[in-house]
Structure 1
Amino acid sequence: MSLKTSGQLAGLAALIGLAALGCGRMAGPLTPWPLPTDPIAFQDQFTGLVNFEAFGNSKLDALGTDAAEQYLGSGCIKITVPDAGVGYAGGAFVATQARNLSGYNALTFYAKASKVATLDVAGFGNDNTGTSKFTASRSGFPLQTFWQKYVIPIPLPSKLAAERGMFFFSASVLTGTGYTLWFDEMRFEYIPTISKPRPAMTPLVLNSIVGATLSVTGTRDTFNVSGTDQVVSHFPGYFTFASSDPTVATVTDGAIRLNGAGSAKITAKLDTTSVAGVVTVNAGPFTPGLAPTPTLPASQVLSLFSDAYSNWPVGTWSATWDVATVTDLNISGNNIKMYTNMLYAGIEFIAHPVDASAMKGFHMDVWVPNGSFFKVKLVQFNADGTLNSQRELSFDANSTPPLVTGQWVGLEIPLDSFMDPTLGLFSRTRLSQLIISGSSDLRTVYVDNIYFHK
């Protein structure tokens, strides 16, 4: 999963996704009732009740235990965070049996590092299945060389009545060498000084086609924790949504389904508290027409998708870790791909990596009905399938070429623009992913003629 952007981790957010970003309900006929309320994610040692599962493309041997650096007791968790450009450390601590955590209002843990650093993200509600509904997290934890306690409030504890995702984290460095990170005393608690929840979501105006499914973004809650405001980002499942016109749009777990032409306003509540922010959706038909036909000779092109050339084998046009939906369309005999709910989409050719070392350019035709920017990321993997490096470029009304709505735009990009000796790309001999994303108001994208060329 990709959790980083612009020279960092490929594919979370996703991050959580990063991607890119779920909670599998494991309660079933064989699950005893009532569920246990055990608050411990980790204390001293692994007991078999909670297992660690590394995230995809992370440093798989990053986790260990340490009997010399613990905050309390006889042991703690030790994480080796790799150097910049080598990847990241991250994963989920998953309970073997679902737990009822509704009696607590926060996840707490102790952490320290071998040097002053920043922990990218930590949270709960991610059981690493890709189906989580109640993931919540904080970002940018300042780490010191001594133990400190950290608190992550739970947006709505009643949602965690059958939860397996006890704790997750992602840690990386942008430049320089990595560091050692220690965790201890990871548990759920009830903290009386957590108060004043102020839920919010990003206000948006979204245009898309009837039948599309869109996502609410920026769902978060600000809490007062012992006199200090803390912002918790979380999945939309914590909110209850309402539509001003269900014939136009309905909402389930934050997924907006466009049922008919027209306009509707989407509002939400966290329990009984109104959520700040309104999402306005406009549903109607869009007709992109045809993209210009490429004119380069086939001998100079390695095509991922185009009717004008033979195409390189692509494993998927919408990876399991992304949130987009891709549909193949045929317009006047020409094949194009339509992405809806286009927060980010992962196009993977990992089994057949592209050696673009002899290529000079990357081309992609895009058509968007609205949106302020569109991003293109190329990702290089190592031979063992781990992340090597990546680089993301952004296009808007002032870029070269500019992003223009309502017409086909040919993004002609010199491959050297993706190369950077510090941030990446470091090489383009095993390109394995193409990740496209856009501004929060860009949810529908048509693409055609995606190729590398000499």
Structure 2
Amino acid sequence: MKTRFMNAMTKTLTGCLLAGFVVGCENDPNDFKEAKYSSNPDVFIDTFSGGLNYAAFGGSVLTAFQVDNDVTYNNTEASMRVDVPNVNDPAGSYAGGAFFTSVGRDLSSYNALTFYAKSSVAATLDVVGFGIDLGENKYQAAINGLSLSTVWKKYIIPIPDPSKLKMEKGMFYFSEGPENGNGYSFWIDEVRFENLGTIAHAQARISNGQNASVTTFSGVNTPITGIGSVFNMPNAINQAVSMSPAYLNFTSSNTAVATVSNTGVVTTVGAGTAVITAKLGTQNATGSLTINCPGAYVNAPTPTLNPINVISIFSDAYTNVPVNYYNGYWQPWQTTVSSDFTVNGDNVLGYSIFNFVGMEFSSPTVNATAMTHFHLDAFIPGPIAPGRQLRVIVVDFGANGVFGGGDDTRHSTTFTAPFLVSQNWMSIEIPFTAMPNLASRSNLAQIILEGGDGSVIYVDNVYFHN
């Protein structure tokens, strides 16, 4: 049941869409003298620490967070309480927000963020961490899938590289959806940064620790994925920590072929091969990314249909309808991550580690009863494995216009070789007469692509037309 809510949370945490801005505590005028260099480790000890603010994430319940004076750790004065909503709560689909300071703090002398937590029921907190600051969100680090119980327990989030946090503003953030469709409450207390001598140095990784490779083209950007680190904790358990690429120092073996930014985005600049590696501090990260570039990129064919005969989901040639997302990232099964790019003024949807991906346009749904066809241009830069399939699924949410309302319909069309080819645009045209399951098509809301083998696919010019 939590799968649907990960869509909103993924988009929110990626873009840091924030609402409900609350100032936690007013500063004493004397604080401004040292705020620039403050190493204050406290985040929430009975109340907001000086200069700390809170903002709810977009799409979350704005009132989900509050200070609680009744349920506290070790009989302290107050704790932070978060009320997670039930499924279909009109106030918001999940609970989430960030605590940040207006002036950065020097946290370089600490190696962990610690806190105590408990919940009203046994639950799994989707994500909790630090580094969201209403700005660059440059040095995020988090634990995903944190197990909560009904008794207080201390939790530790190691800092991948404390030397980076000279002026950090993002003190703490969380995001959580309903458990099995039901809301619940959890409490967090005694949130602070500490220097723990019992945490071993991190082993960082890129490409999930594998030596990955990708075929791409000049002018195309490719984000490095599978970034994280593992720490040996005081309880001898290895703790995985997700982290921002900015913690790492990247290197390209051939900058005439590919360069790499400090945010982990590889830009292919010429034909040839380059290997991207990384270090966390002075330690080599495991894994690499090999860029294979055969040459210049060729854009998809420019559509020539009259705009009055088109309902566009994604295309620079037409005005697109409102789209919820082009990659819902449906946990826990999806591996596909977005690597969108622009070449010669043309925006392209790029998907790497592709197994399946969903686009949703349900606010409002699309009435395509006057349309006769669905169109999509797809490009697979890597080799086509024997038996490879590409399935295109069009979904109608039915008369109630909502997902899973009991009247959803869909149709899947499968493409194989010889239609599937490598390094050439494939123009997919599917007439609605070949999709009998979508006889009404008055509430179209999703397009799903399946059949990826973990490689890369580019998508452009997604539309319905007459």
Of 5, 8, 13, the match for 2:5: 8
Query: Per the alignment, in what secondary structure is the counterpart of residue 68 of structure 1?
Result: coil
**1:197 positional shift:** 1.9
Of 83, 97, 110, the match for 1:80: 83
1: CA distance, partners of 2:428 / 2:60 = 34
Partner of 1:327: 342
Query: Which residue type is aligned with residue 264 of structure 1?
Result: A
Say if 1:167 and 1:196 are closer, same or farther in 2 by CA, change over 3 A: same
Does 2:249 correspond to 1:240? Answer: yes
Consecutive unaligned residues in structure 1, runs of 5 or more? 23-29, 331-335, 381-387, 392-397, 418-426
Higher relative contact order (CA 8 A, sep 6+): 1
**1:353 positional shift:** 3.3
Does 2:236 correspond to 1:221? Answer: no
Moved more, 438-447 or 178-187: 438-447
Partner of 1:400: 414
Does 2:130 correspond to 1:124? Answer: yes
Partner of 2:59: 57
1:272-323 deviations in Å (ceiling 9; x for gaps): 111100110122224466489889x977x63335699x7555589999xx96
TM-score of the pair, normalised by structure 1 = 0.74
Query: Which residue type is aligned with residue 56 of structure 1?
Result: G
Partner of 2:278: 268
Is the Cα contact below 8 Å between 2:125 and 2:145 reproduced in 1? Answer: yes
**1:259 positional shift:** 2.3
Larger Rg: 2
Does 2:313 correspond to 1:304? Answer: yes
Is the Cα contact below 8 Å between 1:206 and 1:442 reproduced in 2? Answer: yes
Is the Cα contact below 8 Å between 1:377 and 1:390 reproduced in 2? Answer: no
Of 89, 92, 95, the match for 2:98: 92
Query: Which residue type is aligned with residue 119 of structure 2?
Result: A
Is the Cα contact below 8 Å between 2:57 and 2:96 reproduced in 1? Answer: yes
Moved more, 168-177 or 237-246: 168-177
Partner of 2:38: 36
Which residues in structure 2 correspond to 1:95-110 (within 5 Å)? 95-110=101-116
What RMSD, in angstroms, separates the aligned Cα atoms of the two structures?
4.6
Number of residue pairs matched by the alignment: 409
Of 23, 26, 45, the match for 2:47: 45
2: CA distance, partners of 1:368 / 1:174 = 38
2: CA distance, partners of 1:175 / 1:365 = 38
Say if 1:89 and 1:411 are closer, same or farther in 2 by CA, change over 3 A: farther
Say if 1:379 and 1:132 are closer, same or farther in 2 by CA, change over 3 A: farther
Say if 1:263 and 1:60 are closer, same or farther in 2 by CA, change over 3 A: same
Structure having the higher helix fraction is 2
Query: Which residue type is aligned with residue 222 of structure 1?
Result: V
1:22-57 deviations in Å (ceiling 9; x for gaps): 9xxxxxxx9857510011111112355211111111
Is the Cα contact below 8 Å between 1:55 and 1:90 reproduced in 2? Answer: yes
Partner of 1:424: none
Does 2:263 correspond to 1:258? Answer: no
Is the Cα contact below 8 Å between 1:339 and 1:446 reproduced in 2? Answer: yes
Query: Which residue type is aligned with residue 296 of structure 2?
Result: P
Of 290, 296, 317, the match for 1:285: 296
Query: Which residue type is aligned with residue 445 of structure 1?
Result: Y
Query: Per the alignment, in what secondary structure is the counterpart of residue 10 of structure 1?
Result: helix
TM-score of the pair, normalised by structure 2 = 0.73
Query: Which residue type is aligned with residue 348 of structure 2?
Result: M
**1:100 positional shift:** 0.4
2: CA distance, partners of 1:346 / 1:366 = 15
Say if 1:168 and 1:404 are closer, same or farther in 2 by CA, change over 3 A: farther
2: CA distance, partners of 1:88 / 1:183 = 17
